[in-house]
Chains A and B, each alone.
Chain A
Amino acid sequence: MAKISVKRSAQSQNDRIAQQNRRLFRKSGLFVMNIIGSPGCGKTSILEYTARHCEGRFAVIVGDVKTALDADRILSLDITAVPIETGGGCHLSAQMIKDVLPKLDLDSLDFLFIENVGNLVCPSTFDIGEDVKVGVLSVPEGDEKVRKYPALFLRTEVVFINKIDLLPHCPYDIARVRQDCRKARASVKVFEVSAKDGTGFEPWLEFLRQHRQRC
């Protein structure tokens, strides 16, 4: 029996394709965000609000285990939306993104939003070529999510706390969540919003304006 040294990460193939995607995005001057959160936290609702108010040109890739329902919601706003049905898969991989890129005219866009499968665990460790990971929390889920799912929040540059209109009805220590987010990543931008009534979105839209100018 002979031993052969390998020392390669299980993620090495995914990482290689993610880097190819990233090079393509950079070439087109695109700012790409990987949106990650639990099922029902409001990822699509945040994108719908953004679609109505963002000045930049953007498209959305929407990952779902089954159906293209979320992609249809974005399409109904006249925004290009490409669905990826993972058929049971718990996260989007760099290869899945690469496979749908021919459906998009990258040079005509400022932003690409990639809505990952609703899951706080698996998507956090798969690079898909994004510039930033965006974590989405929501008030009814409880205020311990950052501590319970550090794999995501140690990697997120942007965090939304959505459904703040429900704060009067839910025991939720928003200061603690904010503090946990900063503990996990000191430079994180936290946006406290209600996608239902539009509260709190101006700083997010300003964030997008700044990144559009940089691209």
Chain B
Amino acid sequence: MHELSLSDSLVRVALETPGVREGNLRALNVHVGALSSASASALSFCLALVLEQRGLKDVKVNLVEAPARARCRCGHDYSPKRLWDGCPKCGGFDRETTDGQDVTLDSVEVEDGED
């Protein structure tokens, strides 16, 4: 259940962002990497819990699954759907993953005009 730690961290990251305050935060746009080992439904549950505990229960959460990108040692670029998906060309797992490994706070939405 590491999604609770991730959720806590996402909310902290949001509130550390310049221009964001508890009073103007309206939505979190979160990308869940295909290889992140995090469950989107567990994240959704935990984010709601963390936001409620901080008195931010009206903040909306938008979760989007982010595809992974990887380059195999054989040079082939591919998009693994799961961690145990080897390179479709050579079958290997020795790869450099460039996208889709993390849970990322892509952006936040804030109310205009408040100060």
Contact = CB atoms under 8 A, between A and B. Distances in A.
Interface of A: 1-14, 89-91, 93, 121-122, 124-126, 147, 150-151, 154, 183-186
Q: Which 3 A-B pairs have the closest CB atoms?
A: A122-B2, A150-B83, A9-B102
B9 A11 contact: yes
Interface residues of B, number: 37
A183 B86 contact: yes
Interface of chain A: mostly helix, strand, loop or mixed: mixed
A126 B109 contact: no
A184 B82 CA distance: 13
Contacts of B86: 183
B110 A8 contact: no
Nearest to A183: B93
28 contacts: A1-B110, A1-B111, A2-B109, A2-B112, A3-B107, A4-B20, A5-B106, A5-B107, A6-B13, A6-B106, A6-B107, A7-B106, A9-B104, A10-B7, A10-B13, A11-B9, A11-B103, A13-B9, A13-B13, A90-B1, A125-B38, A126-B5, A151-B83, A183-B86, A184-B93, A185-B93, A186-B92, A186-B94
A8 B83 CA distance: 22
A183 B111 CA distance: 49
Contacts of A5: 106-107
B14 A6 contact: yes
Contact of B2 (A3, A90, A184, A186): A90
A91 B5 contact: yes
Given A7-B104, A90-B1, 17 more contacts: A3-B107, A4-B18, A4-B107, A4-B110, A6-B107, A8-B104, A10-B13, A11-B9, A12-B9, A14-B5, A89-B5, A90-B2, A122-B1, A150-B84, A151-B37, A185-B94, A186-B94
B51 to A, nearest CB: 14
A125 B2 contact: yes
A93 B106 contact: no
Nearest to B43: A10
Given A1-B111, A2-B110, A6-B105, A126 B17 contact: no
A11 B110 contact: no
